[in-house]
């Protein structure tokens, strides 16, 4: 009996090339950091002073020149955002930050994904032109928008691109581009989210304005850009970019503001709607509770609602918008559950060997919602440990399919799509993305052709990749270490996330009691092997929780959580995977 339908192999993490030399830390933290290739105290310094200078980003000089010119000549600027949480937070950071730095005429436009597609398309430029802006500033998009940039410039608009997605073979003819993933880029991180790139632009702009005496002439104090770090943290975590040292600093600083009650009213309202306490907010709260509520606006409706929630300074208005976003998120979950059931039915029909016989899978149903296919691809990818692309019909172009891809470690999904586009130049209409996630469009009639090409290309990319389900554990904990003190220690040792994984441990337990809660979750009382203490545990989202009620022994991979109930804090195991022990 398994928590997941496919048996997983538990592998213990080992230290990287160097062992930890942070001798003043508890042994457990030394072990955890060493396994994450952190060996020096400087790598754990989360102060803003450790951030590299914005000037190290290429293209920053041209970007700042354009923005200073816009401030001096009172030009109008229109931010072109994206329809996910990174795009929404980047848009809010751009609008708030540029206004604070003296640009008076700033507005934003976020394309409806169902009508205009992704990025700065010529159609979006036509819509933007109705507002007659002098400049367009893209956030979290634009690096692949060659036609859109040309269309905007032909109408007399300057185009400034801030993005973090991988560029193609050529760059658009924008007036300025800042992107840490440009070829030859010297910036020490390629993992900034779109909101992180925009925050860096604001820091560079403030520094330039300070040096040329702008704030003295305007008799206005320098704005505290740190007030935007809660949004930077939200977008960074929600976009699941690797939490390298720079991103850990940004997320940590944003979490500090949230815990101190200094976040934007909209973010605080979203935490409240999700039943989370701001004073105890963690990175996982941003990723699993706040981010999905922002994303729900872009998936089902118009991301403008999410952006307005982040922009408003009125707590009452923020609560109203958060309640609406909460309702959209409930609707999204219902649609996702139905689509997931249909996707699983497709898997069962594939062949007698099951989905595991395929290197990569393409799934399509004619009635699937194009705003939710990414979530379905992610769920199926987690289940079968293979790259998955889920497709839905395009609302704007009935003869087109919109696909959302999710991958596994070791297979760079955008590179897979790029190689397909090279081998079959007319097969994919457009594509873009990251190592782990990407989006694409193709003609409906060519779905089967693409699915075959995708399978073959993933096979080529997977030659050196272990396609077996694996769980990377940080080893066992002594019974004395399974404690509230350890859970609180780990809570403050992050932030944890993509590329800097939250500690996961494994061990064998006796099940002293169990019950089903909220239909699909299993609450348990566990006793560690060789110990006498009883520990609360919970396993979320089981397909058949009733099957576990008679289980007496389990092997489990788990994380330590702090559970607070009626002001009483206790340790709780969050079970990520378990097997019944015969």
Least confident of 55-59, 305-309, 410-414: 410-414
The Cα–Cα gap between 306 and 312 comes to 10
Q: How do residues 348-395 score in pLDDT, each as one tens digit?
A: 877 534 445 688 999 999 999 998 999 999 989 988 889 999 999 988
pLDDT at 139 over 60: yes
Task: Report yes or no on 335 lying in a domain.
Answer: no
φ, ψ dihedrals at 120, nearest 5°: -85, 80
Residues 143, 277, single domain; the answer is yes
Task: Report yes or no on 178 lying in a domain.
Answer: yes
Residues 301, 415, single domain; the answer is no
Task: Report yes or no on 365 lying in a domain.
Answer: yes
- pLDDT, greater one: 523 or 397: 523
The per-residue pLDDT of the chain, averaged, comes to: 92
Q: How many structural domains is the chain composed of?
A: 3
Q: How do residues 172-193 score in pLDDT, each as one tens digit?
A: 999 999 999 999 999 999 999 9
Helices first, then strands: H and E counts in the chain: 19, 17
Q: Name the band, by pLDDT with cuts 50, 70 and 90, for residue 19.
A: low
pLDDT at 434 over 60: yes
Residues 426, 294, single domain; the answer is no
Residues 140, 38, single domain; the answer is no
- What does the pLDDT read at residue 120? 92
Q: How do residues 142-162 score in pLDDT, each as one tens digit?
A: 999 999 999 999 999 999 999
Q: In the 8-state DSSP scheme, what is residue 416?
A: H
Kindly state the average pLDDT of the residues 16-24.
60
The Cα–Cα gap between 110 and 83 comes to 7
- What does the pLDDT read at residue 2? 46
The Cα–Cα gap between 288 and 376 comes to 16
- What does the pLDDT read at residue 464? 79
What percentage of the chain exceeds 90 in pLDDT?
77
Q: Name the band, by pLDDT with cuts 50, 70 and 90, for residue 21.
A: low
Q: Identify any residues that bridge with 565 across adjacent strands, giving them in sequence order.
A: 568
List the strands of the sheet with 437-443, edge to edge.
361-364, 388-393, 400-406, 437-443, 428-433
Task: Report yes or no on 341 lying in a domain.
Answer: no
- What does the pLDDT read at residue 227? 97
Kindly state the average pLDDT of the residues 22-29.
85
Residues 484, 456, single domain; the answer is no
Domain of residue 500: give its range. 9-44+471-580
Task: Report yes or no on 340 lying in a domain.
Answer: no
Q: Name the band, by pLDDT with cuts 50, 70 and 90, for residue 1.
A: very low
Indicate the residue among 311, 326, 341 that finishes a domain: 326
Indicate the residue among 461, 487, 520 that finishes a domain: 461
Q: Identify any residues that bridge with 525 across adjacent strands, giving them in sequence order.
A: 513, 536
Residues 132, 261, single domain; the answer is yes
Residues 232, 307, single domain; the answer is yes
- pLDDT, greater one: 468 or 199: 199
pLDDT at 311 over 70: yes
Residues 380, 287, single domain; the answer is no
Residues 169, 99, single domain; the answer is yes
Please, are residues 545 and 522 in contact by the beta-carbon 8 Å criterion? yes
Length of the chain: 582
Least confident of 56-65, 194-203, 460-469: 460-469
Q: How do residues 532-572 score in pLDDT, each as one tens digit?
A: 899 999 999 887 899 999 999 999 999 999 988 777 899 99
pLDDT at 322 over 80: yes
The Cα–Cα gap between 522 and 517 comes to 6
Residues 145, 275, single domain; the answer is yes
Indicate the residue among 259, 293, 326 that finishes a domain: 326
Q: Identify any residues that bridge with 511 across adjacent strands, giving them in sequence order.
A: 526
Task: Report yes or no on 345 lying in a domain.
Answer: no
Residues 192, 291, single domain; the answer is yes
CATH number for the domain that contains residue 383: 3.10.310.30
Residues 505, 411, single domain; the answer is no
- Please give, one letter per residue, the 3-state secondary structure of 444-464: HHHHHHHHHHHHHHHHHHCCC
CATH number for the domain that contains residue 506: 2.40.50.460
Q: Identify any residues that bridge with 523 across adjacent strands, giving them in sequence order.
A: 515, 538
- What does the pLDDT read at residue 352? 38
Task: Report yes or no on 4 lying in a domain.
Answer: no
Task: Report yes or no on 344 lying in a domain.
Answer: no
């Amino acid at each position: 009996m398994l928590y997941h339908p496919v048996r997983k192999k538990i592998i213990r993490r080992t230290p990287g090339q160097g062992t930890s030399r942070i001798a003043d830390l508890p042994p457990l933290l030394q072990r955890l950091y060493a396994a994450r290739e952190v060996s020096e105290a400087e790598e754990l310094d989360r102060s803003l002073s450790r951030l590299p200078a914005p000037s190290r980003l290429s293209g920053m000089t041209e970007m700042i020149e354009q923005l200073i010119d816009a401030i001096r000549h009172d030009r109008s600027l229109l931010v072109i955002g994206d329809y996910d949480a990174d795009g929404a937070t980047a848009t809010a950071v751009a609008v708030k930050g540029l206004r604070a730095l003296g640009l008076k005429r700033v507005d934003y436009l976020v394309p409806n994904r169902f009508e205009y597609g992704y990025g700065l398309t010529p159609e979006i430029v036509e819509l933007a032109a109705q507002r007659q802006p002098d400049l367009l500033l893209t956030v979290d998009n634009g690096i692949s928008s060659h036609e859109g940039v040309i269309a905007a410039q032909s109408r007399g608009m300057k185009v400034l691109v801030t993005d973090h997605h991988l560029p193609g073979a050529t760059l658009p003819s924008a007036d300025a581009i800042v992107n840490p993933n440009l070829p030859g880029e010297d910036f020490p991180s390629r993992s900034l989210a779109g909101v992180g790139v925009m925050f860096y632009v604001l820091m560079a702009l403030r520094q330039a304005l300070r040096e040329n005496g702008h704030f003295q002439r305007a008799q206005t104090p320098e704005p505290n850009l740190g007030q935007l770090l809660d949004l930077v943290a939200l977008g960074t975590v929600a976009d699941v970019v690797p939490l390298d040292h720079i991103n850990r600093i940004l997320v940590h600083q944003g979490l500090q503001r949230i815990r101190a009650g200094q976040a934007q009213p909209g973010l605080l309202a979203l935490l409240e709607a999700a039943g989370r306490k701001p004073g105890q907010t963690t990175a996982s709260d941003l990723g699993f509770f706040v981010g999905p509520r922002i994303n729900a606006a872009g998936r089902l409706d118009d991301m403008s609602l999410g952006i307005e929630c982040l922009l408003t300074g009125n707590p009452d208005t923020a609560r109203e918008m958060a309640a609406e976003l909460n309702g959209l998120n409930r609707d999204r979950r219902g649609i996702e559950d139905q689509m997931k059931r249909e996707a699983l039915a497709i898997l069962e029909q594939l062949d007698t060997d099951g989905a595991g016989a395929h290197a990569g899978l393409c799934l399509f149903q004619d009635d699937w919602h194009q705003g939710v296919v990414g979530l379905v691809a992610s769920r199926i990818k987690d289940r079968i440990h293979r790259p998955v692309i889920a497709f839905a019909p395009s609302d704007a172009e009935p003869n087109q399919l919109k696909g959302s891809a999710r991958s596994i470690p070791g297979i760079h999904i955008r590179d897979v799509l790029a190689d397909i586009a090279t081998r079959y130049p007319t097969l994919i209409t457009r594509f873009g993305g990251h190592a782990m996630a990407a989006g694409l469009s193709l003609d409906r009639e060519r779905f089967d052709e693409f699915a075959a090409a995708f399978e073959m290309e993933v096979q080529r990319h997977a030659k050196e990749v272990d396609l077996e389900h694996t769980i990377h554990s940080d080893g066992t904990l002594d019974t004395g270490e399974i404690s509230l003190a350890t859970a609180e220690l780990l809570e403050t040792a992050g932030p944890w996330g993509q590329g800097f994984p939250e500690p996961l441990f494994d061990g064998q337990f006796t099940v002293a009691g169990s019950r089903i809660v909220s239909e699909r979750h299993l609450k348990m009382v566990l006793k560690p092997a060789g110990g006498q203490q009883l520990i609360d545990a919970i396993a979320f989202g089981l397909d058949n929780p009733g099957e576990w009620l008679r289980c007496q022994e389990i092997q489990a991979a788990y994380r330590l959580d702090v559970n607070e109930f009626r002001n009483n804090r206790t340790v709780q195991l969050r079970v990520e995977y378990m097997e019944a022990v015969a």
